[in-house]
Structure 1
Amino acid sequence: MARLLQAVGEVISERGVNRVGINAVAEKAGVNKVLIYRYFGGWDGLLQQFLTEGNFLTEYNKQFLETNTASAPNACQTRIDYLTGLLRQLKSHPPAQEMLKWEISNPSSSVSQQLVINRNESYQQVLDKFFKTENEDLNTVTAVLTSGIAMLLLIAPSQKQFMDLNLQSEEGWQRIEHAIGRIYNSLQ
């Protein structure tokens, strides 16, 4: 099963979600497509399992929760680390980017709706632990920054530049990380 799920991610990275199917995944995994129907009931079941077991964003949040404590000496730095880490991880996971694109273009899909529910529950756990303050609505600030990060990552392959940010250069992404830090530091 792990080999099939890995193949799903690889094919999604290569082709995008809308051009992935059972034949391509079976070929990549080196298995007969009948196994996919037998164990997953078809493409929707396989995709659901991939999202359940390999959902990048919920996995990132889970790992962040496990490796950081709410009583860290510098809560602001923890928040910055969370978002810059999210940016770096999402940037290095093309299947996650492709799943976000697919989700945006298929909002009524039951798989997409479940993905949104799972991700929002995962985000809420992080927000509850690290982003609660009495002075600022950090949940909203974090939502705006997270959606901005996602948007920039999704347009980066097709647009070299956004405003004066070079999305094709490491210097452009470092500027984005620096801006995240400045925003959170200004809210202290």
Structure 2
Amino acid sequence: MERKSAAGSIRNKERSKKKFLDAVGKILKTKGYTGLKINDIAATAGVDKKMIYTYFGGMDGLMDEYIRSQDFWSKMTAEEVEKIKPIIDDYGKTFAKEMFLSQFEYVYKNKEAQKLLLWRLSEPRKELKKLTDLQEANGEYIFKLFADSHFKENDSVFRSIMAIMVSGLYYLNMFSSINGSLFCGIDVNSPEGRDQIKEAMSFLIDHSYDKLEDKNDKVK
């Protein structure tokens, strides 16, 4: 009986935590980050606000967990990369394409992720700074795993190109969702337009690898 009771308690806790996380997402989508008040979150979740402190340690902990659950690059931990088992022989070129394609589609389909991006650009908060730090740590692991040894003295140029691509794909999705679908004559909301963006992304990655790779690797 005790074992059953403990299992039931764990399930109830997980359900309640999910309700709080879902409530944060709902408020963020409908009211924006200014609507994220503890009483409103609890009312939307239908759970006593005291449980926010019990389960998350307070609002900061709740925001931390919500942000991690919605951001694409913060999920790309060393453990997750290991699970994917990316190809090593091409120095991460295939992996980079797959990750950028995944990011492009993830943000396009996830309105909460879009609101989170707007929040990060609109307000300095320690929870959002933690997200940036986590993204940087995950990105550093990926760069060191694949690119640094391949590009050597061109490493900083390659990183700069990747930075432009990540931010550009974010912006195209945000722009098409809020201000209309046409950007440089490309309909970003149409399948054809999105395919054109994906093709251009693959071209940029291929070109970066071809032009920036270390000369010694070419000789090999």
TM range (shorter): 0.7 to 0.9
State the Cα distance separating 1:129 from its structure 2 match.
2.0
The answer to whether the Cα contact below 8 Å between 2:86 and 2:92 also exists between their aligned partners in 1 is no
The 1-side partners of 2:115 and 2:18 are apart by 20
The count of corresponding residues between Structure 1 and Structure 2 is 187
- TM-score, normalised by the number of residues in structure 1: 0.83
Query: What CA deviation, in whole Å up to 9, does each residue of 1:6-61 have, x standing for no partner?
Result: 33223323333233322332233221223325544543342123234554421145
C-alpha distance 36-27 of structure 1, shift in aligned 2 (>3 A): same
- Asked whether the equivalents of residues 70 and 113 of structure 2 are also in contact (C-alpha less than 8 Å), the reply is no
Which structure has the larger Rg? Answer: 2
Structure 1: 4+ residue segments shifted above 6 A: none
1:138 matched to 2:158? The reply is yes
> In structure 1, what residue type is equivalent to 2:131?
L
The structure with more helix, counted as a fraction of residues: 2
Q: For residues 21 and 172 of structure 1, do their structure 2 counterparts lie closer, same or farther at Cα, with a shift above 3 Å needed?
A: farther
Q: How far apart, in 1, do the equivalents of 2:40 and 2:207 lie? A: 49
Quick check: 1:78 aligned with 2:95? Answer: yes
The answer for unaligned runs of 5 or more in structure 1 is: none
- Map 1:20-35 → 2, pairs under 5 A: 20-35=36-51
Tell me which residue corresponds to 2:202. Answer: 181
Aligned-pair Cα RMSD in Å = 2.5
Partner of 2:6: none
> 2:193 corresponds to which residue?
172
Contact 2:73–2:135 (CA under 8 A) maintained in structure 1: yes
| Cα distance between partner residues in 2 of 1:173 and 1:65 | 29
> Which of 116, 141, 146 is residue 132 of structure 2 equivalent to?
116
